[in-house]
Amino acid sequence: MPGYRRRTGRKTGSFPEFWPDEHDVPVNLVSTYNAFMRKPELLPGEEVQIVDYTHLNSESPGKRSKVRIDWINYTWHREVVPIRKGEVEDIVRAEADSLGLKYVGIRQGPHNTESVYENGFPTMIWDPRTGRTRKQQRKADWHITLVMGHSINEIVLHGHMFINWDGLADTPITIVTNPKPKTEGGEREFLHGGPEVCKQYWGTVRGSTLPLKGVAEAAPEAPTT
């Protein structure tokens, strides 16, 4: 799916797609999300949670990492018990660490719907229950919506991690590793014409270009007076 655009009177352009095999994690192209900025920055010397990877699905057992996690939308299926929260945090923490990032903001926990976009803009429909327009939703594969960055003030990526789950409290949450459709033996079902991927991220600055691997990222321009 191409980088999408939101209707806005302030900023234009598409969010650039981020592919780990093609791009380096941006350093200078950072953005902030108002919802996360309401959370306090760590005080000098304050430690974030230390994670022992012995308890995670990691290729480096015993590795220790410090990644801060914040929740913005703690929405769960009514049958889900709190243990799922820990599983989700383990998954996103390991993902951030694999990219060399130290902050994760979970915009929404496991869910299986998504907004419909056409020509880069969300499709709006009238909701008679509220008397207002809203984004049209459609069925999607289970996924986690998140942002990641170098810190809470330096968010550089946002997107989705697809997971295997059925929404029940007694079934574990695992990361999708085969993005092929289920009809072809894979783990995805609702591709809607999009790419066959296990996760998909975009940069957080509209109209920007992400740094290619092996190409030094240019320093930001000094402000003009």
Round the average pLDDT of the chain to a whole number and report it. Answer: 76
62 has a pLDDT exceeding 80: no
Question: Which residues have a Cβ under 8 Å from the Cβ of 116 and sit 6 or more positions away?
Answer: 122, 123, 135, 136, 137, 138
Q: Against a cut of 0.85, is the pTM above it? A: no
pLDDT in tens, 96-150: 989 999 889 888 888 898 888 776 677 888 888 888 888 888 899 999 999 999 8
Return the pLDDT at 75.
53
C-alpha distances in Å from residue 99, one per residue of 26, 41, 111: 11, 21, 24
pLDDT digits (tens, 9 = 90+) for 78-93: 445 566 778 888 899 8
CB contact set of 147 (below 8 Å; sequence gap of 6+) = 33, 36, 104, 105, 107, 155, 157, 158, 204
Instruction: Kindly tell me if the per-residue pLDDT of 36 is higher than 80.
Output: no
Evaluate if residue 183 carries a pLDDT over 50: yes
* Mean predicted confidence (pLDDT) in 19-33: 81
